Amino acid sequence: MGNDENRWMKLFLDCVSELCDNNVKINLSHTDTIYILEEGVQVNGFWDDTDEKKLIFACAIGKPLTKWGPIFAHEFCHFLQWKDKEQIWYDYQSISVEESLKVYRNQPISQERLDFCLNTTREIELDCEKRAVRLFKKYKIPIDISNYIKGANAYIHFYNHIKKYRQWYPPGKMPYAKRKLREAASPRFYKDYSEIPPEMAELYKKYYPEKRNNKITV
């Protein structure tokens, strides 16, 4: 095993050990994605703390390590957020399943709640990505950190775009997979995420145009 794989392996073993210590069920699937029955979506991985007695960590590992390793780390950082229970975690918990489904399915919701749901999701993902970068640095993971942060920024700012245009990305068309969006994003975390930088805003509009049936408010 090469030195690079060894670093990843140390991170995985430590993470799995911590998950086990916290009675988390671990689902490492040898597939490209994992299907979530209740939501009818394919995902790369997830962290589920809706039931404290049934905590689940899942990651699809049937692809190259360079692809699933960062996702594993990202989902593990959602577990750390649950463990640390900072204010942002409580804010996120306050969003009901029904409410988040209204957001995702573009169903009527008040502008105030829509903003709260998406701002909170944006901030929890930002906190998660910052934790992931700290993890990569701690384990000296062979990964281009600047490029990773660019992708994270393209993903985090997407929540601002959704607030106005209600257009989710089609499967496999994630914002971080769009080269031009990545290039337009900063290689560092922004101080403030309340406004999308203009160049990126134009690209989001191009790739994810406004939903024709945009039922923003009730």
Residues that bind Zn ion in the complex, under the rule CB under 5 A: 125
Q: Which is nearer to Zn ion, 3 or 103 (CB)?
A: 103
- CA-based max dimension of the chain: 57
CB of 74 to Zn ion, least distance (A): 6
Residue 191 phi/psi, 5° resolution? -70, -35
Report residue 73 as tokens.
């780390």
CB of 124 to Zn ion, least distance (A): 7
Report residue 141 as tokens.
């993971």
Q: Which is nearer to Zn ion, 4 or 99 (CB)?
A: 99
Give me the residue label for tokens 């257009």: 167
Q: Which is nearer to Zn ion, 48 or 125 (CB)?
A: 125
CB of 127 to Zn ion, least distance (A): 10
Q: Which is nearer to Zn ion, 119 or 205 (CB)?
A: 119
What's the CA angle centered on 109, arms 165 and 210, to 5 degrees?
10
Radius of gyration (Cα) for the chain, nearest Å? Answer: 17
CB of 129 to Zn ion, least distance (A): 8
CB of 75 to Zn ion, least distance (A): 7
CA dihedral 208, 168, 73, 121 (to 10 degrees): 110
Q: Which is nearer to Zn ion, 4 or 29 (CB)?
A: 29
The one-character DSSP state at 139 is T
d(CA 17, CA 14): 5
Q: Which is nearer to Zn ion, 61 or 126 (CB)?
A: 126
CB of 78 to Zn ion, least distance (A): 6
Give me the residue label for tokens 């690209």: 203
One-letter amino acid for residue 161 of the chain: H
Q: Are 146 and 189 in contact (CB under 8 A)?
A: no
